[in-house]
Amino acid sequence: MFGRACRNLPLQAARPLQQFLNRSSLVNCCRPLHTRGRQVSGGPAFLCRPPFERQAFARNHHSRRHVQYSRSLATHAASASVAFANDHLEVLRVPCLTDNYSWVLLERASGKTAVVDPAEAQPVIAALDTRGVKLDAILNTHHHWDHVGGNEELKAKYGAEIVGPKADEARIPGIDVALAEGQTWKLGALEMHVFDTPGHTRGHITLWFPEAEVMFPGDTLFALGCGRLFEGTAPQMWQSLQKLLHIPPATRVCCGHEYTQSNAKFAAHFDPDNKALQARKASIDSLRKQGLPTVPSTFGEEVQTNPFLRPHDAVLRKRHAIRAAKDSF
Ligand SMILES: [Zn+2]
């Protein structure tokens, strides 16, 4: 229901979100955003005090030096665990670096395996070893080093096929199969659908396995947030997010980072009348207090509570001039 309604949004409904995205670097970054030579003002104060790793990321996000530095500061290290499972697929959540998640997919019917966005090889190898399986495929959503860092080592060890975005194939290490909007690929019996979702980078794809009810949006969509506009524009990001709105609400959203708690602070400030958001924020705070992960969420939860998916919401639109809310935060 919600998907159909959102898909048919008039452009006017999307305008506040576009304005917000144009002006804000809220989306999980710490430094002023520069787009086409124009500096965009910084995000809310709490997001301007990120861990040092993210400052380093903003400066050196293509740099090996930062990979090593992040490892030295790693606070996120933990072994892989089952994120969810159904009759079609088991998905393991693999913490990497400081706040990345890679995802290991175990397809039930064929026994085929894949990993989405291996930030580094060793935690993925350890996860596969717990099941006594090898790796058949590596799926990359975009080129950033903290999503492709394990590609070459894993390919060398297992001979795995590397699948990534056609729009950015030159920047995906070891790529074998390049996919674009509307194309499909198969993991054993399961069909994967591809959306081009630029905005965070110019060649980002989102991966959706409808039968297994799971999506991998990389750094396009986060729990209660969306990705920083490194290489794209705000209108591009909104177009990308809109493409996802028809995905069924039960779908698990396996995003690329554990950013949910800081995202929740802004969302709660921005949308204070949203009871579902209040309940979700309390649950997130409790999970993080115990050092537990907050992802995957479901797409239905995101549509109810993620401000970046809700520019159509009448209460939200009435309550805010969105830019004013951000500017006075
Ligand atoms: Zn990224």
Does the structure show a pLDDT above 70 at 66? no
Q: What percent of the chain has pLDDT over 90?
A: 69
At residue 270, the pLDDT reads 87
Closest CA to 263 of 31, 43, 17, 34: 43
Cα 201 to averaged position of ligand 1 atoms, centre (Å): 7
At residue 318, the pLDDT reads 76
Of the candidate ranges 120-134, 230-244, 310-324, the one whose mean pLDDT is the lowest = 310-324
Cα 272 to averaged position of ligand 1 atoms, centre (Å): 29
Cα 87 to averaged position of ligand 1 atoms, centre (Å): 31
Does the structure show a pLDDT above 70 at 321? no
Does the structure show a pLDDT above 80 at 258? yes
What are the phi and psi torsion angles at 169 (to 5°)? -65, -25
Query: CB neighbours of 291 closer than 8 A, spacing ≥ 6?
Result: none
Two tokens at 129? 């070893």
Does the structure show a pLDDT above 60 at 326? no
What are the E-state strand segments in the chain? 33-35, 38-40, 81-85, 89-96, 100-107, 113-116, 137-139, 161-165, 177-179, 184-187, 190-196, 205-209, 214-218, 221-222, 225-226, 252-255, 297-298
Handedness of CA 71, 148, 105, 258 (dihedral sign): positive
Higher pLDDT, 20 or 174: 174
At residue 45, the pLDDT reads 25
At residue 76, the pLDDT reads 63
Cα 148 to averaged position of ligand 1 atoms, centre (Å): 10
Does the structure show a pLDDT above 70 at 22? no
Query: CB neighbours of 198 closer than 8 A, spacing ≥ 6?
Result: 167, 204, 231, 232, 236, 237, 240
What mean pLDDT is predicted for residues 118-142?
Answer: 98
- How buried is 37 (Cβ within 10 angstroms: 0-12 exposed, 13-18 middle, 19+ buried)? exposed
Of the candidate ranges 44-58, 135-149, 195-209, the one whose mean pLDDT is the lowest = 44-58
Average pLDDT, rounded, for the chain:
81
The residues assigned a catalytic role are: 142, 144, 146-147, 200, 219, 257
**Is residue 173 within 8 Å of residue 144, measured between CB atoms?**
no
Does the structure show a pLDDT above 60 at 251? yes
What mean pLDDT is predicted for residues 164-190?
Answer: 98
Tell me if the bond preceding 32 is cis, omega within 30° of 0.
Answer: no
Cα 261 to averaged position of ligand 1 atoms, centre (Å): 18
Q: Record the pTM.
A: 0.79
What is the CATH T-level fold of the domain 2-327, as seen in this structure?
Metallo-beta-lactamase; Chain A (3.60.15)
Where residue 314 falls among pLDDT bands split at 50, 70, 90? confident
How far is Cα 173 from Cα 170, in angstroms, rounded to an integer?
Answer: 8
Query: CB neighbours of 313 closer than 8 A, spacing ≥ 6?
Result: none
What mean pLDDT is predicted for residues 172-194?
Answer: 98
Higher pLDDT, 319 or 263: 263
Two tokens at 134? 């090898």
Cα 144 to averaged position of ligand 1 atoms, centre (Å): 5
Does the structure show a pLDDT above 50 at 73? no
At residue 172, the pLDDT reads 98
How far is Cα 322 from Cα 327, in angstroms, rounded to an integer?
Answer: 9
Does the structure show a pLDDT above 70 at 25? no
Of the candidate ranges 23-32, 196-205, 239-248, 253-262, the one whose mean pLDDT is the lowest = 23-32
- Which uninterrupted H or E stretch holds 267? helix 260-270
